[in-house]
Amino acid sequence: MSQASAQRARMSGRSRKILFIGIVVAGFLLLDPFGLFSDRGPRRPGMSRQEIAPYVAHAEEAARPADDFVLDYARKHQVVFLGTLGHIRQHVEFLIELAPQLPAAGVDAIAINLVRAKDQEELNSLIGAGSKVEPDGRDGHTEAELQTEFDEATARRLLFQQNVFQGYREYLELLEAVWRHNRDSAPGDALELIALSPEFRYEHIRTQEDTQDPAVYRKVLPDGAPDDFMYEVLRAQAIERDRRVVAFLTFPHAFTRFRSPALADEMQRLGFDTELSVGNQIYREIGDRTATLFLHGPWPDERLPSNMNYGAEGRLDAILDHLPPEERAAGFTIPGTPLAELPIETGQYAEGYDALTLGDLTDGYVFLESLAGYRGLRVLPDFINEENVEEARERFPGPHPGDRSADELQEFFRGEARAFDQSLTSFD
């Protein structure tokens, strides 16, 4: 092993747990994409044709193109939570394709937790939304219309300020897609991005012992419990302003009716008196004017080293296998249909429940493709560099990495992304 490889291995081992905990708290993943992967990967149980037949029959009849399905929900609901595992390339690409179509469906904004809420004004300036400018008498033109090139440097900085390991190509492409839409559209059709993320002060974590100390975590999270903070932002930006919003968030934060015991346990462990996700809190306030749409992906399951498994014991993927290839990017309403009765017997969602079904989890389910086709996000080159390496060390989401170089931190970032991508390839 080279000296650089040995250093990276030591750093990975030392920071692995805090990266998991920090990401859970930050609301990006409930899974640990940085776990030790082994041959004990996900295995899909076999299902008889008789068992799956009624579900397949309904799916074949009820399937709607995925984008049309989401747009229809957006027309009928004030806040639609588009829930994702996180870090899956196709999920972000789907949102990028969907974004320009949202204004025609009456949607005013996409809510994301990729940028700090305190950076909202700068985000508005980047994408040309939220304000009008008239520097040369051109009344009614957005700032984006006056920009001929996307400001990639600012976009990178906004992602970095939220998390020093947030530099993914697809996130940059999302910001650019919204900027491009606003540049090319009439002012009344502009699309905003609502920055939901609280601030994370990871510089308070210096040692491994700090990762187990609730008092330290309350310093890391000066804005309080992340879901409570995101709720207040979304309430102010969507409900109080009577705007339609699509919120692209990871689970469990995107759940509206379903309450996750895992989230409640984690918040209690960290000393926060909250049990509800942001989606739960929005549902409590506006009821059926909000909905959860579940993007097909791996589900959390701590029995496996990767913490990921097939959803609903593989039944969802069995349904997908039986759909014609041209109909596999499809959405389905769940309540009141045979799909609502699909049992969920294992995995994290089932914990704490005697009987759970797909209808308890979500209002809609969206297939994009089979799990075997999914890939992870791609790391931006030089996201951590000589100009920001000192800040990256201080804001490293774990015990302080010492004097690691920019190249070492960047390679650590790439290595974790590769590990997650590799875990996705274990789905057959």
DSSP string covering 352-378, please?
Answer: T-SS-BHHHH-SEEEE-S-GGG--B--
With CA atoms as reference, report the closest residue to 274 among 237, 235, 231.
231
Say what the pLDDT of residue 2 is.
Answer: 40
Look up residue 381 and give its DSSP letter: T
Say what the pLDDT of residue 46 is.
Answer: 65
Query: Over the chain, what is the mean pLDDT?
Result: 87
Q: With pLDDT > 70 as the criterion, what percentage of the chain qualifies?
A: 86
Please state the domain extents for the chain: 3-116+191-424
Say what the pLDDT of residue 320 is.
Answer: 92
- pLDDT tops 70 at residue 379: yes
Q: pLDDT digits over 209-266, tens only?
A: 998 899 998 999 999 999 999 999 999 999 999 999 999 999 999 999 999 999 999 8
The CA angle 19-23-25, to the nearest 5 degrees, is 120
* Amino acid at residue number 241: R
- pLDDT tops 70 at residue 137: no
C-alpha–C-alpha distance, residues 201 and 28, integer Å: 16
Say what the pLDDT of residue 6 is.
Answer: 40
Say what the pLDDT of residue 82 is.
Answer: 98
Beta strand residue intervals within 269-355, DSSP E: 290-295, 299-300, 308-309, 330-333
